[in-house]
Amino acid sequence: MATKTYIYKIFERFWHWTQAFLILFLALTGFEIHSSFSLMGFESAVYWHNFASWALIVLIIFAIFWHFTTGEWRQYIPTKAFIRDQIRYYITGIFKNAPHPTKKSVYNKFNPLQRIIYLGLKVLVIPVQVVTGILYMFYRYPQGGKIEIINVDGLEIIAIVHTIGAFALVAFVIAHVYLTTTGKTPLESIKAMITGWEELEHDEEESLSNGANAERK
């Protein structure tokens, strides 16, 4: 039994789309800085890359606050339940119209693999990008009328790690966009992230229980 459920809150949707735009914009300007192509010019690319970097950091701070004040951080706690079924579903089941091994709900928005991947992004990839980006940005800065250097041996390792992280984020975005098209309709998940509402499957017994709880309230 499918019912329309309000699953994504306003800030959640704002954070999701703003973060997606900033990551893509940072990738665009970052690869231009690496001379992969020429679009706005090196100096403009550096300026806008740094500007978008600070915007992303501010967004991350607000997102951390929101996750902990709302309890949404619990959505990212890894679980072993159904993880093998989820892997099997992505490898073969998704191409055979097999039923999804896990149920989505307001309190369980992510399947086991999503939890692991999203947690990895939040505690590993994005923090590494932020730290290496700041080191790169402030490697040389004016102080006391001369240029001082942050106590690092050189930019090469920082640049390599930052670039690897950029490729990891781009790969994630591509895979993420593809997987959003594997629902009942290609635009179902995207529409849900725009409006906040999504059709979720519920057992009849579960729906009756939720209805009874709502009446008590």
Annotated domain spans of the chain: 2-210
- In words, the CATH class of domain 2-210 is mainly alpha
Distance between CA atoms of 181 and 4, rounded to whole angstroms?
19
For the chain, the straight-line distance linking the first and the last C-alpha, in angstroms and rounded, comes to: 23
Query: Taking the CB of residue 144, how many other CB atoms lie within 10 A of it?
Result: 6
pTM over 0.75, yes/no = yes
In tens digits, the chain (217 residues) has pLDDT values of: 678 899 999 999 999 999 999 999 999 999 999 888 899 999 999 999 999 999 999 999 999 999 999 999 999 999 988 899 999 998 898 888 888 888 888 989 999 999 999 999 999 999 999 999 988 887 765 555 555 555 555 678 888 899 999 999 999 999 999 988 887 888 899 999 999 999 887 654 443 333 333 334 3
